[in-house]
A = this chain, B = another copy of it.
Amino acid sequence: MKSGLLKNVHPEKRFEQVYDYILERIRRGEWKEHEKLPSIRMLAAEFGVHRLTVFKAYQLLKQENKVYVRDKSGYYVQPGSLLSPAAQQDPIVSAYVHESHLSEIHQVEAAYQFSKALLDPNLLPNRYFSEYVKNVFDLYPKVLGTYSTTQGDLELREALTRYFTKRYRFDLTHDEVLITSGSQEAIDLIARVLVRPRDSVLIDRPTYSPAIDVFRRQGAHLVPIGIGPDGYRLDQVEELMKKHKPRLFYLNPTFQNPTGYTVPAEQRKRLADLAAEYRCLLIEDDPCPDIYFGHEPPLPFFAYDTAGMTIYIRSFSKYVAPGLSIAMVACRPGLMSYLVKAKSLSDSGTPLLNQKIFLHYFFSERMQRHLEKLRTALAIRKDVMEEELAGTGWEWKSPEGGFNLWIKLPESTPMERLLVTSREQSISFVPGSICDPLRELKTWIRLSYSFLNEQQLREGLRRFAGIYRELTTGSNEG
């Protein structure tokens, strides 16, 4: 079955992957406290590696107190390991130090939320919402008494089909559209349907942090691919596809989260071809193509893909209506049938009310006009943030859209103390390591300019820069 799985992998990586494999199963609780672990012989056979490689992995785990040895009978799971409830109690600190999850950072109350890549609710046309909702109840008086179908409301799927065909040149029918409860559900469904333990998954580095968690939970072997201001190095992408035969490539090519980078149009066509050649599905997560500050971004991959290898995820939560949690998935019918089946077991359909409100709100002229205002407001906030940080000496590429600045701090930055001290002073931000499948990038941070107004931005950033100065001057002096 899995024999020879690591045959093509560079020798020093094999050790690492066996180590990861064991640790991940302990972390997920599949192998429980005091449970006997697989023998060296068995793992060596399963991975197709030398027994010494497995032995070394166990030795390191033993050193790290993750496993223990009982007489000569083998290795056992050390109790008090990673998934203990206690370790989860102090989310923010333990999150950064041990295992990082964006949702835990968001649980922390802070006056200056630079960690939330969300729209400030004050920027939404809130007073018009209730009108649309009243319309919805007039049009569908029994909407609260009715379940949606699993795939989603037909009227909404038809409207989305028209919209994406016209605006983004998608070749699409309403049968190829699924409505999900936000993009998080979409990523989760895709991972559950497509990824089996030890499948390789190509993933941006850095990337959207919860995607890392979802694919990891599914047991995937994550293969990171660097994304830069000019997109990917395509020779590198091809090499990784050839070497790892990834099941899928999770990417976020337009105003990428966290970097803000956009993959140029000319790369999109070639990447779609590569995906077809190597039978690697492209999972295109596209949460904010409308939030551009200069030119419109290139068309989504889905529009370039003629081989049906792209699954397109479009969230409408980020800047249309977070409180509705509506997202769309577009893909070809073969894949769609699996996704619909998986969804029927995980939530039996996104609430009909939310779909109907979204339908009447999003496609209204008022909303479409409102997008223009939104772009202006966010461009101003971005400018304010860049202005405030101009004197710090930190480095970033000014984004052409989206919600974030992806900033490189000096190598000497005491990141953990910066995180803890900021938190004490009611400031939150996202440490770069959370966005990195390799958990490195320890001197990068993501600051969002979307959630706070100009005044709050200025005030919070001055405080934040002050904390930084104090910590680094202090450490220089100390």
**Residues of chain A having any CB pair with chain B under 8 Å:** 1, 3, 29-31, 35-38, 42, 45-46, 85, 88-89, 101, 103, 107, 118-119, 121-124, 126-127, 129-130, 133-134, 137-138, 141-150, 181-182, 184-185, 188, 196-197, 210, 213-214, 217, 317, 321-325, 333-334, 337-338, 341, 344-354, 357
Contact = CB atoms under 8 A, between A and B. Distances in A.
B37 A107 contact: no
Contact of A103 (B124, B143, B344): B344
Contacts of A188: 345-347
A347 B197 contact: no
B346 A185 contact: yes
5 contacts: A1-B35, A107-B150, A130-B137, A130-B138, A323-B351
Contacts of A344: 101, 103, 210
A212 to B, nearest CB: 10
Contact of A107 (B122, B149, B184, B213): B149
A345 B210 contact: yes
A417 to B, nearest CB: 26
A123 B122 CA distance: 38
A150 B103 contact: yes
Contacts of A346: 184-185, 188, 346
B323 A145 contact: yes
Copies of this protein, total: 2
Given A3-B36, A35-B1, A323-B144, A345 B137 contact: no
A322 B145 contact: yes
B127 A141 contact: yes
Nearest to A31: B1
A126 B107 contact: no
Contacts of A134: 130, 133-134
B345 A184 contact: yes
A85 B101 CA distance: 35
Contacts of A210: 344-345, 348
A423 B38 CA distance: 51
B85 A337 contact: yes
A398 to B, nearest CB: 27
Given A1-B35, A35-B1, A103-B150, A121 B142 contact: yes
A149 B323 CA distance: 11
A143 B132 CA distance: 14
B348 A196 contact: no
A206 to B, nearest CB: 18
A109 to B, nearest CB: 11
Nearest to A334: B85
A196 to B, nearest CB: 5
Contacts of A124: 142, 144-145
A351 B142 contact: no
A167 B147 CA distance: 28
A182 B348 contact: yes
